């Protein structure tokens, strides 16, 4: 009887995995076929106003890069604090809050930034978009840093202190170096997550058809423009949305593969 139940659950598990992979393959094949059909290298040479994607790609990376500059230091410092200094209910509260933030819908974060930054400042901006992405990135970096540092053997810390090093030197020179591969992988995966976000940017940065570096105004966004172009009645606009989706998918895939590569070649 137990063997029968085991075989049934094994078959159901295999069927579920097959269904999930089939839908994933369907989505990717459709995306690649339609995206490649609309793809041409002039997309990287012209702005959206001229039928290209240059300003959108640059704008997306600028906002994601600015978010990383804000989110990575804050997340790493908080993760180091939790693992090396935090104790008791206060540390547990921060961990629980970080876990909640990781699962919070991105559109809720966008609405929050809209209420506290966009409305008081009088309009959408690249800065507001970057802040919303940073808020999404911080809990991921906190969780990764906390978990990776917990895997470093306690003996390494004790050895450093026994040699006369201060605690912060032990953390910087021994603990973080021992966990740097896992932390870097987590940072790359967090960056891959925010580079493809749309919902928070709808409220905070919107998008622009023109190239600009002025972060105080509505800022070019690849993901928001995909949403807008896909809803346009012209077939040319929808083809441009497919091409943009293809480029974005490839970018996210490359970032994820880089994280996997670093993990597998950590030695």
Q: CA–CA separation, 27 vs 36, rounded Å? A: 14
Q: pLDDT digit string (tens) for 81-110?
A: 888 887 778 888 888 888 888 888 888 999
Q: pLDDT digit string (tens) for 130-144?
A: 999 999 999 999 999
Are 198 and 226 a contacting pair, CB within 8 Å?
Answer: yes
Q: CA–CA separation, 104 vs 110, rounded Å? A: 11
Are 265 and 243 a contacting pair, CB within 8 Å?
Answer: no
Q: Please report the pLDDT score of residue 58 as a whole number.
A: 92
102's tokens:
């990781």
125's tokens:
């901006």
Domains of the chain: 14-264 (1.10.3720.10)
204's tokens:
């905070």
Q: Please report the pLDDT score of residue 63 as a whole number.
A: 93
* Cβ-proximal residues to 102 (8 Å cutoff; 6+ apart), any chain: 139, 140, 143
- Mean pLDDT across the chain, nearest whole number? 86
pTM for the structure as a whole: 0.86
Q: Please report the pLDDT score of residue 266 as a whole number.
A: 55
- Please give the C-alpha separations between residue 266 and each of 149, 172, 177, 186, 256, in angstroms, as whole numbers: 16, 19, 12, 14, 15
């Amino acid at each position: 009887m137990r063997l029968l139940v085991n075989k049934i659950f094994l078959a159901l598990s295999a069927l579920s995995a097959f269904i999930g992979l089939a839908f994933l393959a369907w989505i990717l094949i459709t995306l690649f076929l339609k995206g490649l059909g609309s793809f041409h290298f002039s997309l990287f040479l012209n702005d959206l106003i001229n039928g290209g994607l240059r300003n959108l790609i640059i704008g997306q990376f600028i906002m994601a890069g600015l978010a990383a500059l804000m989110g990575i230091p804050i997340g790493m410092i908080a993760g180091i604090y939790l693992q090396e200094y935090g104790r008791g209910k206060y540390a547990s509260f921060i961990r629980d809050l970080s876990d909640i933030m990781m699962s919070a819908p991105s559109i809720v974060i966008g609405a929050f930034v809209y209420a506290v930054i966009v409305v008081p400042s009088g309009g959408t901006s690249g800065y507001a978009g970057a802040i919303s992405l940073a808020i999404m990135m911080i809990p991921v970096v906190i969780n990764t840093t906390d978990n990776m540092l917990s895997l470093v053997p306690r003996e390494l810390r004790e050895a450093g202190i026994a040699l006369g090093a201060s605690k912060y030197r032990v953390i910087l020179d021994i603990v973080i170096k021992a966990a740097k591969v896992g932390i870097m992988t987590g940072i790359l995966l967090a960056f891959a997550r925010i580079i493809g976000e749309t919902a928070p940017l709808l409220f905070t940065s919107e998008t622009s058809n023109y190239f600009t570096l002025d972060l105080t105004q509505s800022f070019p966004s690849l993901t928001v423009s995909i949403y807008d172009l896909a809803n346009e009645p012209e077939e040319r606009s929808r083809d441009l949305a497919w091409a943009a989706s293809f480029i974005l998918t490839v970018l996210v895939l490359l970032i994820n593969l880089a994280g996997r590569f670093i993990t597998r070649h950590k030695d």
